[in-house]
Amino acid sequence: MADIESTDIRKIIVACDAGMGSSVMLASQLRKQLKGLGIEVEHTPVNSIPADADVVVCHSGLADRARKTAPGTVLIPFTIFIGDPAVTKLVTTIKNGGTVHG
């Protein structure tokens, strides 16, 4: 597990398997929720997570692959594409300040 202070987050990656529409919607939702905070949100395949990612958000079924692609990066696995408590907690922690655990 890795941790990062919310003030150090500059890039969040929403990783997917095959360009699933749901993960694109999640990335769009995160962009809107974090607008104005100086955080870039990108959507990429799980096997192509960029090295400069601070946090990776992906479906729990892809978590092992994401850990291999981006070892040491904070990983937030979720089970529900829209409204998952793990993603809500991430957004709340970023907005309120604190440490993101993943």
**Tens of pLDDT along 2-53?**
899 999 999 999 999 876 688 899 999 999 999 999 999 999 999 999 999 9
Q: pLDDT tens for residues 47-82? A: 999 999 999 999 999 999 999 999 999 999 999 988
Q: Which residues contact 16 (CB under 8 A, 6 or more apart)?
A: 23, 24, 43, 44, 45, 46, 58, 59, 62
Rounded CA gap, 50 and 56, in Å? 10
Catalytic residue flag (residue 58): no
Catalytic residue among 14, 16, 63, 70: 16
